[in-house]
């Protein structure tokens, strides 16, 4: 009975840092893998990561808990796999070099409008996960995401002659903006759980790189499935 209690997580999780750093380094390697091998690469690396994590639990005799490896695996999957969709969009989709910019413009438009509208007109608190977010800011961010997506779609139609449908652009803008805002909230939830303000101090006043791309991470996989419908 005591041995069972030993495996019950107590207190804050302790991710396996060395494996997390290794997975982060592998992002660079995965991004140079030929597109035809991407799915096979993911199919190999994720089970291997899970195998290593459970082996670590056994090797440490339960000092590393299931909670610890769950948080570690979450970090690997969340960052490495989601970011992988960015080069896949660029290389795998028709007109991918044009479409890839929808990921960034929707994120930037959402963030800028959400900040401006929330700061000047925000009165209704949205969630305890992120105390500074307001309902007005979220609505403004969605509008901003749609505006930037439609503007870029106009540019694509007139400059690159893509013939994108404007109704589809609006729908895509809404969905990408909402997924980006959920990504931002997901990052805030992780920060609250780990009791940190920023992921790092790499960029003074702005936190770390993760703080800058948390919405892009969530937008990328959804963009991969949504953007092809824009190209006829």
Q: State the pTM of this model.
A: 0.83
Interatomic CA distance for residues 52 and 57, integer angstroms: 9
What whole-number distance in Å separates Cα of residue 89 and Cα of residue 85? 6
Q: How far apart are CA 106 and CA 148, in angstroms?
A: 6
Alpha helix (H) residue ranges in the chain? 2-6, 17-30, 38-59, 66-76, 82-92, 96-121, 135-159, 166-194, 209-226
Return the H-helix or E-strand segment holding 161.
Answer: none
115-161: per-residue pLDDT in tens? Answer: 999 999 989 998 888 888 899 999 999 999 999 999 999 999 999 99
- Per-residue pLDDT tens digits for 51-110: 989 998 999 888 888 888 888 888 888 877 888 888 889 888 999 999 999 999 999 999
Across residues 18-43, what is the average pLDDT? Answer: 74
* 127 DSSP β-pair partners: 130
Distance in angstroms (rounded) separating the CA atoms of residues 168 and 100: 16
Give first-to-last CA distance, the chain, whole Å. 63
Residue 45 to residue 64: CA distance in whole angstroms: 21
């Amino acid at each position: 009975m005591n041995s069972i209690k030993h495996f019950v997580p107590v207190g804050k999780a302790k991710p396996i840092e060395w494996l997390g750093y290794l997975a982060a380094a592998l992002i660079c390697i995965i991004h140079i893998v030929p597109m035809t091998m991407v799915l096979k690469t993911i199919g190999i690396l994720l089970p291997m990561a899970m195998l290593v994590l459970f082996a670590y639990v056994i090797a440490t005799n339960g000092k590393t808990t299931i909670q610890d490896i769950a948080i570690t695996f979450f970090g690997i999957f969340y960052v490495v796999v989601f970011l992988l969709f960015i080069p896949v969009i660029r290389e795998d989709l028709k007109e991918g070099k044009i479409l890839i910019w929808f990921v960034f413009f929707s994120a930037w438009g959402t963030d800028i409008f959400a900040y401006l509208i929330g700061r000047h007109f925000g009165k209704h608190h949205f969630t305890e996960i992120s105390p500074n977010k307001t309902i007005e800011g979220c609505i403004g961010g969605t509008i901003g995401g749609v505006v930037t997506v439609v503007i870029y779609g106009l540019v694509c139609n007139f400059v690159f002659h893509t013939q994108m449908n404007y109704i589809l652009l609006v729908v895509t803008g809404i969905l990408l903006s909402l997924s980006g805002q959920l990504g931002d909230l997901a990052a805030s939830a992780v920060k609250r759980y780990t009791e940190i303000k920023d992921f790092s101090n790499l960029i003074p006043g702005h936190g770390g790189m993760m703080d800058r791309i948390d919405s892009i991470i969530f937008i990328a996989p959804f963009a991969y499935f949504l953007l092809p419908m824009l190209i006829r």
